[in-house]
Amino acid sequence: MPPQKSRIALIKKSYTATFSSLKNSPALIIPFLIFALLASLSLAVLFLAPRMPFRLLFGPIIKTLWGERFLHYPFNFFLLPKLASLSIMVLTVLIGSLFTGMAVAIVADIHYKKKVSLKSAFNTAIKRYLYLFIVVLLMTVLFYFFSNLIPYAISKYFRAGNARLLFLGPKAWFQVILLAINFALGIFIQSLFVYAIPLLIIEKEKVVRAIAKSIILFKNLCGKTLVLVGLPMLLYIPFMVLLQNSAFLVNNLFPESILIIQFISIAINSLIIDLLVTVSTTYLFIFYKEK
């Protein structure tokens, strides 16, 4: 079979197995559903941060880091996407790592015709939790570091008095190009580490070997991996654009629209994007190992 057709066939096979598993084993959705509920709860708490009694905890932090005005309406909504993003990062490392491990364990049980059990998947993941935590922490730190370093470097470049960078002014860079760079960065970093968790859960590898093997697997499955990781993430682009332009939402709709969009983005990200990426890449990993 020609390489291009072989690549498409393996992607199709991974998605076919993914949707079949979701149809026949709804328990696979549970880890992602729980995470979505926890992320939504954290968002609700952050929304209430300027109000008592939450203000006692969050008020001094917000005032010190961002300023007093962000504790008042409607400026609190301008800060909400940033706070939500930080809280989701923390939840992803602390809890999302465990739930992802559970999902991979369930996929393995489905594929190898074992009894699907949330308790069994939890026990499998919790035994490897420290390794799962390290992998997801490393991914998150890398993304956070580079997604802040690049804007900082470009901002410093323009503040030095330069009017253009690659023939484009600051408006184009900060409103369009940086958004695209962060999006591509997210896909690339996740693709590098995406096989580490199946290696930890299914192959029982140690964390360093799992990370090294994941990078090698990404090299061997580069095109397929980028498709399986990047395709679902296209759904998140409208939310990235809207939440980055919170002033537009406040001025043209109403401040609370930011909260609504943030809740929807959590549902889309957890129940569609993360689910599809995790399950489809796990199947790709299994099919590649069997081949």
270-279 mean pLDDT = 96
Instruction: Give every CB contact of residue 271 below 8 A, 6+ residues apart in sequence.
Output: 29, 32, 33, 36
Identify the pLDDT of residue 3: 55
The domain in which residue 164 lies consists of: 3-290
113-129 mean pLDDT = 94
pLDDT in tens, 236-269: 998 888 888 777 777 777 888 899 999 999 999 9
Region of 161 (left: φ > 0; alpha: ψ -120 to 50; beta: rest) is left
* C-alpha separations of 55 from 48, 128, 146 in Å: 8, 37, 32
pTM metric for this prediction: 0.91
* Structural contact between residues 278 and 202, judged by C-beta atoms closer than 8 angstroms: no
Identify the pLDDT of residue 4: 58
Q: How many domains does the chain have?
A: 1
Which residues partner with 165 through β-bridges?
168
